[in-house]
Amino acid sequence: MGLYFPLQDTEQDTLNIQHPNDLRIHSLETFGTHDGPGVRMVIFVQGCQFRCLYCQNVDTLDVNGGTMVSIDELVTRAINQKDYFGHKGGVTVSGGEPLLQRSKLITFFKKLHENGINTCLDSNGRLLDNDVKELLHHTDLILLDVKHIDDDWHHKLCGVSNKPTLKVAEYCESVNQKMWLRYVLVPGWNDQPEFVERWARQFTGYKNVDRVEILPYHQLGMHKWRMMGLPYQLTDVTTPSSEIKERVLHTFQKYFADVRLK
């Protein structure tokens, strides 16, 4: 789209170089239950390379926004909440896009593991370099958002190619990185039966996919676009009907053992 906060190639590493002991975050949720297993502390970092038409956190896109918070402070917060995590919970870093701060997250996840805290990464998979591979080594679970299987449609929906995301998925499979796949279901954009079937076939042989989550599109983030003076292009797109949700659920269930309709 290029309508707001354009991210230049040189900015992809900016969040890693500046303030090496701090994470640039948008917000923090202390008792999250929707972003990984169990009860989790969810950190929403600032900055993203995607320009998804349906983004519900458009205020997280700007790489210069947010607040700098020290990694040590976030580790201390996680330790203080550790009793609530139980055996399944832990810390999830979401976004925005966490991989923009990948080298910092390596340090963060290492410290969490040193304190026996489970780590989860919620990513669009836009980047795959040595730092990302190192980060995944310290990640217990990655929630990978694969927003469209067709590259042309992915460009229309998200402003970028889906090829890097698919490469991240392939890499995770090659190293047996535990993964949940996520699919935001947008009527008229990625609910077409042929695309849903292609998406499922793409990953059906992956032994590291423990779960697939279908996230029905909604307009709850539209007010943020309006507050920021940005054009929201999906005003005529409604939440998927029961028929659409059930059809996609049935298709995915043919290929995956654990499919959740959120």
Give domain limits for the chain: 9-261
Q: Is the pLDDT of residue 17 over 70?
A: no
Q: What percent of the chain has pLDDT over 70?
A: 93
Average pLDDT over residues 2-18: 46
CB atoms < 10 A from the CB of 153, how many? Answer: 16
Choice among 135-139, 185-189, 227-231 with the minimum mean pLDDT = 227-231
For position 15, what pLDDT does the model report?
A: 61
Q: State the pLDDT confidence band at 179, using cuts at 50, 70 and 90.
A: very high
Query: How are beta strands 40-45 and 22-32 bridged, if at all?
Result: antiparallel
Mean predicted lDDT score pLDDT of the chain? 93
E strand spans, the chain: 22-32, 40-45, 67-70, 90-94, 118-123, 141-145, 179-185, 209-216, 259-261
Q: Is the pLDDT of residue 11 over 50?
A: no
For position 9, what pLDDT does the model report?
A: 40
d(CA 179, CA 141): 6
Average pLDDT over residues 109-114: 98
Homologous superfamily (CATH) of 9-261 is Aldolase class I (3.20.20.70)
- Residue 105's nearest CA partner among 127, 140, 128, 136 is 136
For position 112, what pLDDT does the model report?
A: 98
Q: Is the pLDDT of residue 2 over 90?
A: no
Q: State the pLDDT confidence band at 41, using cuts at 50, 70 and 90.
A: very high
Q: What percent of the chain has pLDDT over 90?
A: 92
Q: Is the pLDDT of residue 119 over 50?
A: yes
Q: Is the pLDDT of residue 259 over 80?
A: yes
Query: Residue 60 carries which DSSP code?
Result: G
Residue pair 27/44 in contact by the 8 Å Cβ criterion:
yes
User: Does a cis peptide bond (omega within 30 degrees of 0) precede residue 2?
Assistant: no
Residue pair 249/261 in contact by the 8 Å Cβ criterion:
yes
For position 20, what pLDDT does the model report?
A: 80
* One-letter identity of residue 6: P
For position 3, what pLDDT does the model report?
A: 35
Query: Residue 245 carries which DSSP code?
Result: H
Q: State the pLDDT confidence band at 19, using cuts at 50, 70 and 90.
A: confident
Q: Is the pLDDT of residue 14 over 60?
A: no
Average pLDDT over residues 202-221: 96
Q: Is the pLDDT of residue 18 over 90?
A: no
Long-range contacts formed by 72-81: CB under 8 A, 24+ apart: 72/21, 72/111, 74/23, 74/43, 74/108, 75/108, 75/111, 75/112, 75/115, 77/28, 77/30, 77/41, 78/41, 78/112, 78/115, 78/117, 79/115, 79/117, 81/30, 81/41
Q: Is the pLDDT of residue 219 over 70?
A: yes
